[in-house]
Amino acid sequence: MRGGMASSAGDALSPAESEDIRMTTVDFSEPFDVVVAGGGNAALCAAITAARGGARVVVLEGAPQFYRGGNTRHTRNLRCAHDGTAPTMTGPYEEAEFLDDLMRVTGGNTDRDLAEMTIAHSTELIGWLGEQGVRFQPPLGGTLSLGKTNAFFLGGGRGELNTLYRQAEALGVSVVYDAPVIALMVTDGFFVSAQIMHDGRQHSVRGKALVAASGGFEANVEWLKQYWGPAADNFLIRGTPYNRGDVLRMLLDAGIMPVGDPTQCHAVAIDARAPRFDGGIATRLDSVVFGIVVNREAKRFYDEGEDTWPKRYAIWGRLIAQQPEQIAYSIIDSRSIRLFMPSIFPAVQADTITELAGKLELDPPALENTVAKFNAAVQPGTFDHTVLDDCRTAGLAIPKSHWARTIEEPPFYAYPLRPGITFTYLGVRVNKNARMLMKDGKPTANMYAAGEIMAGNVLGKGYLAGIGMTIGTVFGRIAGEGAATHANN
């Protein structure tokens, strides 16, 4: 059953060769050694490692082939500790500094042992991914300031995924697309089989071990509504529509210990014109700090200049979620239009605030009034968007603490904003071997988890750019190795 096309690390197959392998019909009559549920970064890292460990592996990807790879398709980078010699990052970025950063953003809401282990293993990732054929860009400068901490994939997350799929297939991993796991047979923490829907009928896929790598539940609006109510109908999901949390739900129902706050999700402000799903990074908007943000009633509702954008951008999704109809408008004038990375959609433009209000369907006198009051409150200062400058307002109930400049030079611009959900925090509890734990704390017999579905063990709260892919790659490798070892014994 192994494809018999094992290639040396980094060998790339021609598109025709890999297409041939993809067309292979998978035989479900014999049990596999390792069944991997999901088809993103964590799944592929697990599948490759398990195959290298001699296991017969099947990847069950719920999405069709074109949409394979979940939210990994949208990623650009991963965070790694390193000693400064890596050609992909400036440095060094010591493990202790990485841990400090993680403790700060999570407020200590992390399993410290797992966090330290993740960070220690992060030093191996550039090398390991490189061995699979993944290529990286030179260190990145510019507005993101991640050149020291994060390595950027050449070709983005899609490039990384395509390489990992090629490598997995070359190692004989069977990949089944359009194969959502719809049920799991689990008895007392022992995995027996996964039920999939494929080609219009159900199949039972048996295996000696399971790796669950099927992401969070952020695309399941009904589930989000349990915590957010009808407001969730107005949320936009930044990633794949296929991460509905079905496998997560099955695991929790089977008695696996949960981790992470089910009511929490990572939500940022994105362009309200983005599609309901899969808008990715091109719809993110960084204009907030440069002007004012008003709601449907043309009223400001939060300090737009509280802190630098990277430190604050993740609170804006939640703030907008609390506004009427979950919509807001970022308003700037011509002096700021070139200061941020634009959205893929052009700004709404007008020569007067009244005209702008009309185009946004806001009450023109109300917006005129808000802008006039804001302009009157702006204090003299020296504008510098690279630091926490001294441009602020005085006397407003809702101040703007930095970068406050009058909005008076036409043309005026606006971007409509909605909450954009990146991921959810609820997951399954694992130990250092990526083995899932039952509610009583006992390790399961043969069930492993990697990626977003268990990220809450390390990232209980907040976010650190690039850590999602770090957690997925580290735990994917550990899960794959553990599952293969279990299957071999």
Q: Alpha carbon of 100 to those of 124, 138, 149, 465: distances in Å?
A: 20, 25, 13, 14
Which CB atom, from 208 or from 244, has the smaller least distance to ligand FAD? 244
89 is an interface residue for ligand FAD by CB under 6 A = no
Q: Alpha helix (H) ranges present in 214-267?
A: 221-228, 246-253
Q: Report the distance separating Cα 164 and Cα 480, nearest Å.
A: 14
Strands 412-424 and 236-237: parallel
238 is an interface residue for ligand FAD by CB under 6 A = yes
Q: Contact, 41 vs 473, CB < 8 A? A: yes
Q: Report the distance separating Cα 360 and Cα 363, nearest Å.
A: 9
Greatest distance between any 2 Cα atoms in the chain: 75
Which CB atom, from 71 or from 330, has the smaller least distance to ligand FAD? 71
Q: Report the distance separating Cα 99 and Cα 104, nearest Å.
A: 8
Nearest distance from residue 37's CB to ligand FAD, in Å? 5
Nearest distance from residue 39's CB to ligand FAD, in Å? 4
Site size toward ligand FAD (CB under 6 A) is 44
Q: Contact, 251 vs 437, CB < 8 A? A: no
| Binding region for ligand FAD (CB under 6 A) out of 67-75, 132-140, 332-340, 380-388 | 67-75
Match 């407020």 to its residue by tokens.
107
Residue 93 per-residue DSSP state: B
| Binding region for ligand FAD (CB under 6 A) out of 116-124, 125-133, 139-147, 241-249 | 241-249
281 is an interface residue for ligand FAD by CB under 6 A = yes
Closest CA relative to residue 31, chosen from 193, 249, 269: 193
Q: Contact, 167 vs 161, CB < 8 A? A: no
75 is an interface residue for ligand FAD by CB under 6 A = yes
x/- track of binding to ligand FAD for residues 134-163 (CB under 6 A) = ------------------------------
41 is an interface residue for ligand FAD by CB under 6 A = yes
208 is an interface residue for ligand FAD by CB under 6 A = no
207 is an interface residue for ligand FAD by CB under 6 A = no
Radius of gyration of the chain from its Cα atoms, rounded to whole angstroms: 24
456 is an interface residue for ligand FAD by CB under 6 A = no
Which CB atom, from 133 or from 215, has the smaller least distance to ligand FAD? 215
Which one of residues 32, 34, 52, 61 is an interface residue with ligand FAD (CB under 6 A)?
61
| Binding region for ligand FAD (CB under 6 A) out of 133-141, 233-241, 344-352, 410-418 | 233-241
- Which residues touch 36 (CB under 8 Å, ≥6 apart)? 43, 46, 47, 50, 57, 58, 59, 60, 210, 211, 213
Nearest distance from residue 205's CB to ligand FAD, in Å? 11
Which one of residues 466, 474, 478, 482 is an interface residue with ligand FAD (CB under 6 A)?
466
Output the six-digit token pair for 425: 């925090």
**Tally of CA atoms within 13 A in the half-sphere of 140 that contains its CB:** 17
Partners of residue 152 on adjacent β-strands: 77
Nearest distance from residue 256's CB to ligand FAD, in Å? 15
How much helix, strand and coil, in percent to the nearest 5, is found in the chain? 35, 20, 45
x/- track of binding to ligand FAD for residues 399-418 (CB under 6 A) = --------------------
| Three-class secondary structure of residue 31 per DSSP | coil
Which CB atom, from 38 or from 419, has the smaller least distance to ligand FAD? 38
213 is an interface residue for ligand FAD by CB under 6 A = yes
Which CB atom, from 199 or from 297, has the smaller least distance to ligand FAD? 199
Which one of residues 18, 106, 110, 214 is an interface residue with ligand FAD (CB under 6 A)?
214
Residues of this chain that interact with ligand FAD (CB under 6 A) are 37-43, 60-63, 69-72, 74-78, 180-181, 213-215, 238-240, 242-244, 246-247, 280-281, 422-423, 451-452, 466-469, 472
